[in-house]
A and B are shown apart, each in its own frame.
Chain A
Amino acid sequence: MAAGPTYSPIATTTATGSSTNVTFNSISGSYTDLVLVIANVTAQIDNVGITLNSDTGSNYSRVILQGNGSTASSNKNSNQTYLYTMYKDTAGGDPVMSTTQFLNYSNSTTYKSVFTRQETNSSGTKAVQAIASVWRSTSAITSISINSGNANFNSGATFTLYGIAAA
């Protein structure tokens, strides 16, 4: 009944400290889901966003559940210009990570549903967040661009894209 192993690494990029952007292009449509793991981000960065297929229009929205170590809260942002994947770190120095799941990313009929978990635990910012997002496009996702906004990703920050193929 099982169809064999899946959950395969597609590509990994390690930042060199000279760019605010990492992009995965020409993503194969042969998987069912994609998983993007961002780790070892220690730069003093602003919010990290993702744009899909180079779409910078106001076609993204999100709902956030979060805690800061003492208070739990939620928030909602409509008509945004990027998917939010990592909270700003106002101090830097401690690793920040996020995992973003793109389910059914290659179909051409549904808006794309995305789920992110991220954590920031530095002297400047403490946050654990769960984020449900949507990209209001029925296009298959073929590129993922991660943008740090105001500062270069530090050398050693890693960005790994995995594919999961359903039976």
Chain B
Amino acid sequence: MPILGTVASQFSGKPSNSFESIATVTVGAGGQSTITFSSIPQTFMHLQIRGILQGSRPGPVPSGYAALRFNSDTTSNYIDHILGSSINDSPPRAYAATEGLGTFLYLSGIPGVAAAPFFSIFITEILDYCSTNKNKVLRTVEGIETNANTINGYNASSVSFKSGLWMNSANAITSITIEALGTSSPFKQYSQLALYGIKGA
């Protein structure tokens, strides 16, 4: 099971049949504030979302965040933990933080529309999403890299690991909604999200 490719070398030379594409959304010229994967098949063990995102706020500084919700749940059932970089401090440092109960999970930072086409990158894995007796957990790796561009001395580049919890044990995940928050909305053209399913044995 080639989660993030970290064990994929074990399968070198053997075609994998446990990783399947489910759906892809590429944002068109008009932008898109919300992207939803609905009617997610319940035939996999885990899900993976891979994406690149750009927001609407001018400049290379972060437009804000892309938020993730499951099954249209907008109540305070989500918790995040993050280990990330803070490169605008002197010297640059690593930091850890917790987002308490909130109405969404932070998925990824998104750079604004600069003169150059910088996009954030993220990969999220949602484990055992079909379970009807466990809270749902996910993990994300994400980053923004905008070279030396700054606004007011601030550079948007960052990289982080995140873990997330959706406190719902009774329901399988059947839909995933990803929303551009605040001034980041809408996601700009060429942003792309791809949903994959990973089978169990």
> A and B from one assembly?
yes
Q: Assess whether B5 is in contact with A9, with CB atoms less than 8 Å apart.
A: no
Encode contact with A along B122-163: 1 for CB under 8 Å, 0 otherwise. 010000000000000000011111111000000101111100
With a CB–CB cut-off of 8 A, which chain A residues contact B17? 5
Distance in Å from the Cβ of B125 to the closest Cβ of chain A? 13
Tell me, yes or no, whether B101 is within 8 Å of chain A by CB.
no
Interface residue range, chain B: 35 or more
Candidates B14, B20, B50, B147; contact of A134 at CB < 8 Å = B147
Contacts A5-B20, A63-B85; A166 near B141 (Cβ below 8 A): no
Chain A contact residue count (CB 8 A cutoff): 56
Interface Cβ pair total, 8 Å cutoff: 200
Q: Assess whether A164 is in contact with B146, with CB atoms less than 8 Å apart.
A: no
Q: Assess whether B94 is in contact with A113, with CB atoms less than 8 Å apart.
A: no
Provide the bound-state CA to CA distance between A114 and B142, in Å: 10
Q: Assess whether B16 is in contact with A167, with CB atoms less than 8 Å apart.
A: no
Tell me, yes or no, whether B86 is within 8 Å of chain A by CB.
yes
Q: Assess whether A65 is in contact with B83, with CB atoms less than 8 Å apart.
A: yes
Encode contact with B along A56-98: 1 for CB under 8 Å, 0 otherwise. 0000011111110000111110110000000000000000010
Q: Assess whether A162 is in contact with B85, with CB atoms less than 8 Å apart.
A: no
Q: Identify which of B21-29, B69-77, B165-173, B179-187 touches chain A.
A: B21-29
With a CB–CB cut-off of 8 A, which chain B residues contact A3? 20-22
Q: Identify which of A15-23, A103-111, A139-147, A148-156 touches chain B.
A: A103-111
Distance in Å from the Cβ of B40 to the closest Cβ of chain A? 8
Candidates B15, B117, B120, B192; contact of A9 at CB < 8 Å = B15
Pairs A-B, 4 closest by C-beta atoms: A132-B143, A74-B85, A113-B121, A72-B94
**Residue positions of A touching B, CB distance < 8 A:** 1-9, 12, 32-33, 35, 37, 39, 61-67, 72-76, 78-79, 97, 99, 101, 103-104, 107, 109-111, 113-115, 117, 130-134, 136, 138, 158, 160, 162, 164-167
21 A-B pairs with C-beta separation under 8 A: A8-B15, A33-B50, A37-B5, A37-B6, A63-B157, A64-B85, A65-B84, A66-B94, A72-B83, A72-B94, A75-B87, A76-B87, A78-B147, A103-B50, A103-B51, A109-B190, A113-B118, A130-B141, A132-B121, A132-B142, A166-B21
